Each structure stands twice: as C-alpha cells, then as structure tokens.
C-alpha cells in the first residue's frame, strides 16, 4: 500500500447492514458494480474487468448530461473478502484502497480511501469527492437491497 498522509487522502466510511461477502461481491462482480458505481445520474459501460493484481478495469461513465468519461484503472491487490486496491490511471490519478471490516455477522464497515499524488490535487477535489462518494455509497446500498441480488 502506498505510504500517505492525511493531507493527500479523502476517506469515506459507512457501515452497511449486510454481510461482508455480499458487500465484497457488489464490488467485484461487474454485473452489480456497473449498476451502482459513480455519482447519482451516472451509468456505466464496462469494456474490461480483469479482477486480479495487474488486471485492467476499463469503462465509460455516462453523465446525466450525455458526457462520456473514459476510465482506466489497474488492480494492485485483491484479498477476498477484505481488501481491494486499485490505481485510477485516468485523470485525475489516485489510488483507491477499499477495506471491508466485518463488525458482526450481518454488518460490515466499508472504508473507502482515495489517495492522491499531492496535497494540492487532494485539496482541489476534496469537497466534491466527499459528496460524490456518499452518493456512490447510497447507490451501493440500493444495489444490495435489490430482490435479485445474489452472490457467488
């Protein structure tokens, strides 16, 4: 994991009333991930999702205004069901460290850490990113509550 300091990080934390394995599956199964990834109003088209260290994740986020945002990331570390680390290679560049801590059998704390290359880059995006991460968590919660949600 990249060594960092708080002035280069945005950290979002939420406790979900779901088993850790279910939450991890929502992050690692592209059929679920494409439904909730991104802020409100965005949709996704996945082009490649190779969940392994060194594997690529390429997708297009479609904004509510019709703008397309190409995204490319590479997975750094996967430890099922507790850790996902990937580097977002598109601009702005940052690293995501997502940890899944089992609090009880049916309760999981998700810690979503965005690590930027500089304090200046982090400061420029902090307020915007924190709000959008909360929207992302809301969408994840809705995906987890779907009647047809399953995990393998």
State the average pLDDT over residues 47-54: 98
Per-residue model confidence as pLDDT tens digits over 104-144: 888 999 999 999 999 999 999 998 999 999 999 999 999 99
CATH code for the domain in which residue 56 is found: 3.30.530.20
Q: What is the largest CA-CA distance in the chain?
A: 43
What local confidence, expressed as pLDDT, does residue 127 receive?
A: 85
Q: What is the end-to-end Cα distance of the chain in Å, rounded?
A: 28
- Quote the tokens at residue 30: 């592209």
- For residue 151, tell me if it sits in a domain: no
pLDDT over threshold 70, residue 151: no
- For residue 1, tell me if it sits in a domain: no
> How many independent structural domains does the chain possess?
1
For 52, the domain range is 10-144
Per-residue model confidence as pLDDT tens digits over 71-88: 999 999 999 999 999 999
- For residue 57, tell me if it sits in a domain: yes
State the average pLDDT over residues 20-42: 96
Which residues 6+ apart lie within 8 Å of 32 measured at CB? Answer: 25, 26, 143, 149
pLDDT over threshold 50, residue 1: no
Q: What secondary structure, in 3-state letters, does 65-83 show? A: CCCEEEEEEEEEEEECCCE
What local confidence, expressed as pLDDT, does residue 4 receive?
A: 61
State the average pLDDT over residues 3-11: 83
């Amino acid at each position: 994991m990249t060594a960092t300091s708080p002035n280069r990080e945005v950290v979002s934390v939420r406790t979900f009333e779901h088993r850790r394995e279910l939450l991890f599956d929502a992050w690692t199964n592209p059929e679920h991930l494409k439904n909730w990834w991104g802020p409100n109003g965005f949709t996704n088209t996945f082009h490649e999702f190779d969940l392994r260290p060194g594997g690529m994740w390429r997708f297009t986020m479609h904004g509510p205004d019709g703008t397309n945002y190409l995204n490319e990331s590479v997975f750094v570390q996967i430890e099922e069901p507790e850790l996902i680390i990937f580097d977002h290679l598109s601009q702005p560049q940052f690293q995501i460290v997502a940890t899944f801590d089992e609090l009880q059998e049916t309760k999981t704390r998700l810690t979503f850490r965005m690590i930027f290359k500089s304090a200046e880059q982090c400061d420029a995006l902090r307020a915007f990113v924190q709000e959008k991460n909360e929207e992302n968590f809301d969408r994840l919660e809705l995906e987890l509550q779907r009647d047809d949600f399953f995990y393998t």
